[in-house]
Amino acid sequence: MPDSITSKEFIEQQYKPLNEELARLRELNETDGVPLILRETEGMLSVLLDICKPERILEIGTAYGYSAAFFAAKCPNALITTIERNPKMIEKAVKCFEMLGLDDRVELLEGDAAEILRGIGENADTTAYDLVFIDAGKTHYREYLELSERLCRAGSLIVCDNILIHGWIYDRKKPGAKRHRTSVKYMKSFLKYIKDREDLTVSVSESGDGLAIIRLNDK
């Protein structure tokens, strides 16, 4: 055993999967190199879900369906709506939800997230979401936030993942930073935007690859 490890390695050692099914699903995602919520991020979300006890969850960015499956396992009485546009990801997610028996609790909407969010907003019967999880194209975070908050209520939480973008957001010398400078530019603008809004309570954390936890204040 090494004499020392990094803080990230130490924190990951504290990770405990919610159940065996999710443990196997995480292993499959990691083996296939599919992006999914990091262990540290999952731990933070687990605490948030215990606190806010959401009945309706909206997710933007499904991938293989891991985070939606996690939400469903953590909140057995919640209904989850998740949005994905990549056909290959959709195929994998559908199989995941079928395998876990989540067809009746997880609604997968296929297509462009912004268009779908606008469509949901036009439905007068839509019930407000208690929690929104944004984990999609980094250049669209502000748009997704603004469209999502119309579907929420005062007190709802909107959680944005990967806001540090592998550390490129604060270190332009990191490998890959120059190639992703457009995403970095948009993310910096987004973070300033939510910081400046007086109607939001915002906490920015370095958990995982960075989280922005946003509460919609009473109006």
Q: What is the pLDDT of residues 54-81, one digit of tens each?
A: 999 999 999 999 999 999 999 999 999 9
Say if residue 101's pLDDT is above 90: yes
Strand ranges of the sheet holding 129-134, from the earlier edge strand across to the other edge: 106-110, 79-84, 56-60, 129-134, 152-161, 211-216, 200-205
The amino acid present at 97, given as its one-letter code, is: F
d(CA 65, CA 106): 10
Point out the least confidently predicted range of 6-20, 31-45, 101-115, 144-158. Answer: 6-20
**The pLDDT of residue 219:** 59
Higher pLDDT, 167 or 58: 58
SS3 199: coil
Q: Residue 189 phi/psi, 5° resolution? A: -65, -40
Q: Where are the domains of the chain?
A: 7-216
Model pLDDT, residue 16: 87
The angle that helices 20-32 and 66-74 make with each other, rounded to 10 degrees, is 170
Mean pLDDT for the stretch of residues 127-142: 94
CATH superfamily of 7-216: Vaccinia Virus protein VP39 (3.40.50.150)
pTM: predicted TM-score of the whole model, two decimal places: 0.93
Question: What was the pLDDT predicted at 212?
Answer: 97
